Amino acid sequence: MSEKNTIGIPTVEEIKQAQIDFSPRCTAAGRVNDKETQKMVDYILNFARKHSLFVLAYGTGCGAIEIPATMTSRYDAERFGIRGAATPRQADILMITGYLSTKTLKRVIRVYEQMQDPKYVIAFGSCTINGGMYFDSYNTIKALDRYLPVDVYIAGCMPRPESVIRGFVKLQELIQKGNAGNGECYRENLDWYRENQQKVIKNWDFPENYNW
């Protein structure tokens, strides 16, 4: 089982090895906040944050086709306080809709770092979880959480608007508990993330400092 098969599917050992090496640093489970430690101010602010989510729907892959359906009349995400944001500066949620080629990943990282804390990432579709149908592609990344901290995954290929709204509601629960938003964790573990990012992005030309 140790030799690689011809089309590049990783073997079980390789996957195990990968999980040991690349287990994501910033997850919702890693930042469990005891409910008793929340003060009244936190409660109110989290209430405002969870009911006012500005989404930057970064249409990387085919999943972007589900976003208009979610936002418009039939499924109406605005009743949860979810609305589109035009630029990363104004946005709270970065929504990665589908596969990320290494070229797109560079832009996504840059967009993520331009967003203001607290910021959340929703990984959308199978492609962001394990590569999905692009599992053997040479230029797409397979697991998004090695490169960016992800708060909520929405499984499916494609996830229907119901699933997307379920993902938003899950994120709202995490925000109310104080578990969401990994901007600080990303900055603390920046070396680890940068190392992973530089492995796949060949023409690396980012500024040294995290100061956008």
Partner 1 sequence: MNDIIFKIGGAFLTAILAFTVGMFYAGLRRKITARVQNRVGPPIYQNFLDLLKLQSKRTNVAHGFMGHMAPIWIIIAAMTVLMFIPILQNNLWFENLTLKGDLIFLLYMMVFGSLGMALGAGQTGNPNSAIGVSRGLSQMVGFEIPFVMALVALMLQFKTTSIADLMHFQFTSGHWIILENPFAFLAALLSSLGMFRYSPFDIVGAPAELASGPMSEFGGKYLGTMMTGGAVFAFIKLVLFVDLFLGGAGNNSVEGIMGTGLGLLELLLKTFLFYMIPVFVGLVSPRYRTEQAIQFFWKWPSVFGILAILWALYKNGTLL
Positions touching partner 1 (CB under 8 A) are 44-45, 47-49, 51-52, 72-73, 76, 78-79, 81, 83-84, 86-92, 114-118, 183, 212
Please choose, from the candidates 30, 27, 85, the residue with its C-alpha nearest in 3D space to the C-alpha of residue 54. Answer: 85
Instruction: Give whichever of 39 and 79 is closer to partner 1, judged by the CB atom.
Output: 79
Q: How far is the CB of 203 from partner 1 (least distance, A)?
A: 24
Q: How far is the CB of 131 from partner 1 (least distance, A)?
A: 31
Three-state DSSP state, 70: helix
Amino acid at site 175:
I
Q: Quick check: 60 and 108 in contact, CB under 8 A?
A: yes
Three-state DSSP state, 87: coil
Separation between Cα atoms, residue 83 and residue 13, nearest integer Å: 43
Instruction: Give whichever of 80 and 135 is closer to partner 1, judged by the CB atom.
Output: 80
Q: How far is the CB of 71 from partner 1 (least distance, A)?
A: 10
Q: How far is the CB of 172 from partner 1 (least distance, A)?
A: 12
Instruction: Give whichever of 10 and 84 is closer to partner 1, judged by the CB atom.
Output: 84
Instruction: Give whichever of 17 and 116 is closer to partner 1, judged by the CB atom.
Output: 116
What size, in residues, is the chain? 212
User: Which H helix or E strand runs over 130?
Assistant: helix 127-130
